[in-house]
Chains A and B, each alone.
Chain A
Amino acid sequence: MKVTEKDVAYVADLANLELGEAERTRMVRDLNSILGYIDNLNELDTANVPPMAQVSDRFGVDQAKQGSERFAYARREDIHEGLRKSLPREQALANAPESDGTFFKVPKVIER
């Protein structure tokens, strides 16, 4: 067992998830099963392999150019009004569970 109930509680805390007791037990089982399979990656020696976070720098760009110059096409001039106008306040707040018409409202942040 790699992942313990304590680990699950810690990670749930990091992820802002509240798990019930049954969910925690199931999560321990599932994560161990999946991570056991993921451990197959350790068969590979990757000491000299560069990591790859995304694919956009491998194609669709001028490979002769270096660094950010490869993505020159994605740059644009500053537009003071923004690329698109900001949403009107009422639209931006329309989906909010709670607002006062100007701001999003949330429960008290600071306890005293």
Chain B
Amino acid sequence: MDLNSLSIASARAAVQERKTSAVALAEAFYAKIASDDPKIGAYLTLSQERALAKAAEMDALVARGEKLPALGGIPVGIKDVLVTQGVKTTAGSKILSNYIPPYDCTAVARMEAAGAVVLGKLNCDEFAMGSSNENSAYKPVHNPRDLSRVPGGSSGGSAAAVAANTAIATLGTDTGGSIRQPASFCGVVGLKPTYGRVSRYGLIAFASSLDNIGPFGKTVQDVATVLGVIAGRDPMDSTSAEVPVPDYVAEIEKPVKGMKIGVAKEYLGEGLDAEVRSAVMAAIEKLAKLGCEIVEVSLPHTKYAIPTYYIVATAEASSNLARFDGVRYGHRAQGVRSLSEMYRRSREQGFGAEVKRRIMLGTYALSAGYYDAYYLKAQKVRTLLTRDFEEAFGKVDAIVAPTCPTPAFKLGDKVDDPLAMYLADIYTVTANLAGIPGVSIPCGETKEKLPIGLQIFGKHFAEATILRVANAYEKGA
């Protein structure tokens, strides 16, 4: 039995039936990390002590003849923007290079309460700002499918760890596509839930109205399993919604026959790579063969999504990142003579180029004289983008699209052109602006064997519906 390639259900069953133990499973993953991660760079910090204690606890449950919880003994990795008590959390930034959080992120606490074994913290773009993981202050992540290429971002480590079998499942965050885009580039499944579905408590904030925590896994069922654990109201996040959490694992097995699937021409136009386009068209045909009715829909404001997103997200970021001032935590510049100089020099030394660029753009958009022209304008277009989806979902149950316009690009290709990098998010930012869920699943490969992702959008809180479509596609593909 290759322990590293197991799904959640099979690994949990193997531990339950004593074909292996949770400790042996965790050790197999640490061995794999030691041998394979140096060339991939997915992990920033390992948490062996905490992991092995949890694994031993799960083995003791089994020894007492008790049933394992949903993630009992499952080795997982956590994106380094989610705080973990006593385990260094950097957000991929130098400014937090020594930060040891005094509390746990709710999603991580729920994973552990369900028996998950947290192997360590995963590399990402600094403060989740980036589409290639090249903005990590520590090291880039290499795509396990082709080491010369990026894994996508910002949750590049979370996607790469699942693709490289150095974790069974992982958590990432998605503010403009940061789960779905790397899932697509690495050939794994990644879900951005509805805004409010998963508590953001303990997520180091980038853009509070757009940030989401969500799972990566090898299969749709694995992602559904993790979502069921982390979803639901949390009194520590007032934006977490009071909406019941269905049994996602059962829901995804329901038939898709007769479901109406929308296809929007705005997601299949100029700029879309020909091989990605043909893979997505083939996937749509497959869904039709599975009994879905394919319906043309229009999302007419799609081309305004990137400019809207980069105003809203950077405005919120400029406010959220004001907390990094060298007073309570994080880097403090030495040899300064005044408080004001300390703020400036600490931030100058601690933040990387992309983070500074976004703070500057956001501050500019919010500054006197530009607020109406940029921030208010973007908020109004956000309404139009949201209405596009509301109208389309009056006609269909789900909408399918490519996750990204191209397969994974080479490291270094876009680092000098921020606008080109932003355009990598063109098909994903819309879901964040509208707050709807979206999942990316593998739908074939290019001639160069690079994975291609199919994205499925749903109505608010309709994760069960899009995962059902994804599961039917995965099983039938």
Residue of B98, B318, B344 contacting most chain A CB atoms (<10 Å): B344
Contact B329 A95 (CB under 8 A): yes
**Residue B281, interface by CB 8 Å:** no
Q: Which of B103, B233, B306, B418 contacts A30 (CB under 8 A)?
A: B418
Interface string of B368-383 (1 = CB under 8 A from A): 0000001011111111
A69 / chain B contacts, CB cutoff of 8 Å: none
Interface string of B350-390 (1 = CB under 8 A from A): 01010011011101100100000010111111111010000
Contact A54 B361 (CB under 8 A): no
**Residue B304, interface by CB 8 Å:** yes
Report how far A76 CA is from B350 CA in the complex, Å: 38
Report how far A42 CA is from B318 CA in the complex, Å: 23
Closest Cβ of chain B: how far from A107's Cβ, in Å?
Answer: 5
Closest to A56 in B: B239
Given contacts A16-B343, A54-B209, contact A83 B364 (CB under 8 A): no
Q: Which of B356, B378, B418 contacts A23 (CB under 8 A)?
A: B356
Residue of A7, A16, A107 contacting most chain B CB atoms (<10 Å): A16
**Residue A1, interface by CB 8 Å:** no
Report how far A53 CA is from B382 CA in the complex, Å: 8
Report how far A110 CA is from B271 CA in the complex, Å: 56
Contact B378 A17 (CB under 8 A): no
**Residue A97, interface by CB 8 Å:** yes
**Residue B338, interface by CB 8 Å:** yes
Closest to B103 in A: A87
A25 / chain B contacts, CB cutoff of 8 Å: none
**Residue B282, interface by CB 8 Å:** no
Contact A51 B380 (CB under 8 A): yes
Report how far A19 CA is from B359 CA in the complex, Å: 12
A87 / chain B contacts, CB cutoff of 8 Å: 102-103
Closest to B318 in A: A15
Residue of A41, A53, A58 contacting most chain B CB atoms (<10 Å): A41
Report how far A94 CA is from B422 CA in the complex, Å: 37
Given contacts A17-B344, A17-B360, A18-B344, contact A55 B386 (CB under 8 A): yes
Contact B235 A83 (CB under 8 A): yes
**Residue B327, interface by CB 8 Å:** yes
Closest to A106 in B: B339
Contact B364 A11 (CB under 8 A): yes
Given contacts A37-B307, A44-B384, contact A11 B379 (CB under 8 A): no
Chain A 56-83 residues near chain B, CB threshold 8 A: 56, 58-61, 71, 73-74, 76, 83
Contact A40 B360 (CB under 8 A): no
Closest Cβ of chain B: how far from A31's Cβ, in Å?
Answer: 6
Contact B239 A17 (CB under 8 A): no
Report how far A109 CA is from B327 CA in the complex, Å: 13
Closest to A36 in B: B419
Contact B345 A41 (CB under 8 A): no
**Residue A102, interface by CB 8 Å:** no
**Residue A21, interface by CB 8 Å:** no
The number of chain B residues with a CB under 8 A from chain A is 75
Closest Cβ of chain A: how far from B102's Cβ, in Å?
Answer: 5
B103 / chain A contacts, CB cutoff of 8 Å: 87
Interface string of A27-42 (1 = CB under 8 A from B): 1001101110111111
Closest Cβ of chain B: how far from A93's Cβ, in Å?
Answer: 8
A53 / chain B contacts, CB cutoff of 8 Å: 209, 379
Contact B361 A104 (CB under 8 A): no
Closest Cβ of chain A: how far from B11's Cβ, in Å?
Answer: 33
**Residue A108, interface by CB 8 Å:** yes
Chain B 428-451 residues near chain A, CB threshold 8 A: 434-435
Interface string of B330-343 (1 = CB under 8 A from A): 11100011111111
Q: Which of B194, B238, B347, B419 contacts A18 (CB under 8 A)?
A: B347
Report how far A91 CA is from B103 CA in the complex, Å: 10
Closest to A62 in B: B242
A8 / chain B contacts, CB cutoff of 8 Å: 360
Given contacts A109-B339, A111-B338, contact A14 B367 (CB under 8 A): yes
Contact B360 A27 (CB under 8 A): yes
Closest to B307 in A: A38
Chain A 83-102 residues near chain B, CB threshold 8 A: 83-84, 87, 91-92, 94-98
Contact B307 A40 (CB under 8 A): yes
Residue of A60, A71, A87 contacting most chain B CB atoms (<10 Å): A60
Q: Which of A7, A33, A46, A58 contacts B419 (CB under 8 A)?
A: A33
Contact B357 A58 (CB under 8 A): no
Given contacts A51-B380, A52-B379, contact A41 B360 (CB under 8 A): no
Closest to B99 in A: A95
Given contacts A107-B336, A107-B341, contact A95 B348 (CB under 8 A): no
Report how far A106 CA is from B346 CA in the complex, Å: 12
**Residue B326, interface by CB 8 Å:** yes
Q: Provide 18 A-B residue pairs closer than 8 Å at the C-beta atoms, listed in order of the A residue.
A: A8-B360, A10-B367, A15-B322, A17-B356, A18-B347, A34-B361, A41-B304, A41-B307, A44-B381, A52-B383, A56-B239, A56-B435, A60-B243, A60-B461, A83-B236, A91-B102, A95-B98, A106-B339
**Residues of A with Cβ closer than 8 Å to B?**
3, 7-8, 10-12, 14-20, 23, 26-27, 30-31, 33-35, 37-44, 46, 49-56, 58-61, 71, 73-74, 76, 83-84, 87, 91-92, 94-98, 104, 106-109, 111
Q: Could you list 7 further interchain pairs (A-B, Cβ under 8 angstroms) beyond the known A59-B460, A76-B235?
A: A34-B418, A40-B304, A55-B196, A56-B241, A92-B328, A97-B329, A106-B339
